[in-house]
Structure 1
Amino acid sequence: MTGTFMMSADTPPEELDWGKLRWMSHPPSTGAGQLTVIEVNITPGNGHDFHKHPDQEEVIYCISGKVEQWLDQEMRILGPGDSVFIGAGVVHASFNVGYNDAKLLAILGPCVGDQGYELVDVASEAPWKDLR
């Protein structure tokens, strides 16, 4: 396979209680094996709570907005053009602390499972449940 175009208009968003995802590349949409790419929109005051990807590295790139980004127990505020690299198995979380939607690009690799994405929620566990 040489690749495929993924047009935004043809890629329906997945609505979540904290925002929405648009799967720009993953095994079901492109046949990708090494990279899963997700456009992430987080609504104001919401976030993708503490979780990890045991077998995947991730880069989160902030396109717009103001994001409280956690990397293990360290927190920084990301703005447009800022990014974070997250090693496999490292707990992290992203919260929109701005007044408008925050738009991020999440790039994970390698693809894991049928969806190309694995997630372990740890938000209810110590120390993550007490960090914010």
Structure 2
Amino acid sequence: MPGKFVIAKDVEPQVGDFGTLFWLSTPPNTGAKQLTVIDVNLGPGQGHNFHKHPDQEEVILVIAGRVEQWIDREKRMLGPGDCAFIPADVVHASFNTSGEPVKLAAILGPCVGPAGYELVDVASDAPWKTLRQ
């Protein structure tokens, strides 16, 4: 396949406890091998708690709103146009601490597993479980 157009209105949302995801490019829907791309929407007070991707690098690009972004134990507030690069196996988290919606683009590579994405949740492990208190 030479490529594929992904039309936003045709992508089914996945609503989770930390926000709404739109899987724009994954091995099953585009045949991607190197990049998984996710449109992430965090409502006020929502966030993606501390986790890591053992075999994937990630770039998180802020499209709209402001996000409390963690890379390991370092925290920064990021706004539109800002991004974070997270090396493979590094713990990170994203939280919307504002009263406004946040829109992010998450780009991970290479694709891992059948869905192109792997995640290890560490939010209940020390020191991550107490870092934001």
Tell me the TM-score normalised to structure 2 length.
0.98
Q: How many residues align?
A: 132
1:81 paired with 2:87, answer no
Matched residue of 2:54: which SS? coil
| Cα shift at 1:7 | 0.3
Matches within 5 A, 1:1-20: 1-20=1-20
| 1:1-132 matched pairs, under 5 angstroms | 1-132=1-132
Runs of 4+ in 1 over 2 A off after TM superposition: none
Query: Partner of 2:34: helix, strand, or coil?
Result: coil
**Residues 15-59 of structure 1: per-residue CA shift (max 9 Å, x gap):** 112210000000111010000000000111110000000000000
State the distance in 2 between where 1:125 and 1:18 align.
18
Q: Equivalent residue of 2:85, what SS?
A: strand
Instruction: Name the CA distance, whole Å, in 2 between partners of 1:72 and 1:5.
Output: 35
Percent of aligned pairs sharing the same letter: 65
Distance 1:36 1:101 in 2: 23
**Which is worse superposed, 52-61 or 12-21?**
12-21
Structure 1 stretches of 5 or more lacking a match?
none
CA distance in 2, matches of 1:75, 1:114: 32
TM-score, structure 1 normalization:
0.99
